[in-house]
Amino acid sequence: MPTHATSPSRPRRAPRKRPLVTVSEDDGNRRADLIRVSARLFREKGFDGTTVRDIADAVGMRSGSPFYHFKSKQDILAAVMEEGLVAGLQDTERIAASDLPPREKFRALVRSHLETVLAEGHDFIPVLLHEWRALSPEHQARIIDLKDRYDARWQQALAELKKARLIRSDSKVVRLLMLGAVNFTIQWYKPGKGLSIDQLADQAVEFFLGEPG
């Protein structure tokens, strides 16, 4: 049963959709808009499962227009990942530079990373984790630099924990297991159900380091 009466006229264009994002008319933030909505779509449907038309629709452009801002779909993916890493690295370095005691500093790191990965609208790093494989090798190289700096900060934090005798080993494997446990939360954590992000951070730290004192 057709929902609309169809007339035999020539193919009619679908009515122009209203943009789903509100932006001041004449600013240059269209690129940032594209990155943000692409992150959300890539996270929800995957890189290959998202079409350039999906992205264009979501920001209220025509299907060819994203290519005015990016020269390929791959470039959008790289921009999404870079955005997430730059922001995450900034947070991480701020915490690393603070003078919190070791356990508190570590807790702050875990909480910050959990927020980077779980908070509403924070789709950049989840896309990095999920769609790394879809990124071309040339783009990967650029992103790996940033990832290495991120990892180095964590390794540094573990060294401080070891010095304070809060962990037995600051081996690379321990770091990978910890970050794995934290990163994998994106597979099961449901915002607003059960633990808050803060509570989850506390439980994770307790699991990693044992009870305080």
Binding site for a copy of itself (CB under 8 A): 44-49, 129-130, 132-134, 168-169, 171, 173-174, 176-185, 187-188, 195, 200, 203-204, 207, 210-211
Task: Supply the DSSP symbol for 6.
Answer: P
Q: How many CA atoms lie within 13 A of 70 on its CB side?
A: 21
**Rounded least distance, CB 66 to DNA, Å:** 8
* From DNA, a copy of itself, none, interface partner of 187 (C-beta below 5 to 8 A by class): a copy of itself
- Residue 143 and residue 78 in contact, taking contact as beta carbons nearer than 8 Å: yes
3-state secondary structure of 181: helix
Closest CB to a copy of itself among 60 and 208? 208
Q: Establish if 68 lies at the interface with DNA (CB under 7 A).
A: yes
Q: Which is nearer to a copy of itself, 61 or 158 (CB)?
A: 158
Q: How many CA atoms lie within 13 A of 36 on its CB side?
A: 13
Decide if 109 contacts 156 (C-beta within 8 A): no
Residue 153: closest CA among 103, 197, 90: 90
- Is 72 an interacting residue with respect to DNA (CB under 7 A)? yes
Lookup: tokens for 81: 């990942």
| Interface with DNA, residue 71, by CB under 7 A | yes
Q: Is 94 in the site for DNA (CB under 7 A)?
A: no
Query: Which residues would be at the binding site for DNA (CB under 7 A)?
Result: 30, 50-53, 56, 60-65, 67-69, 71-74
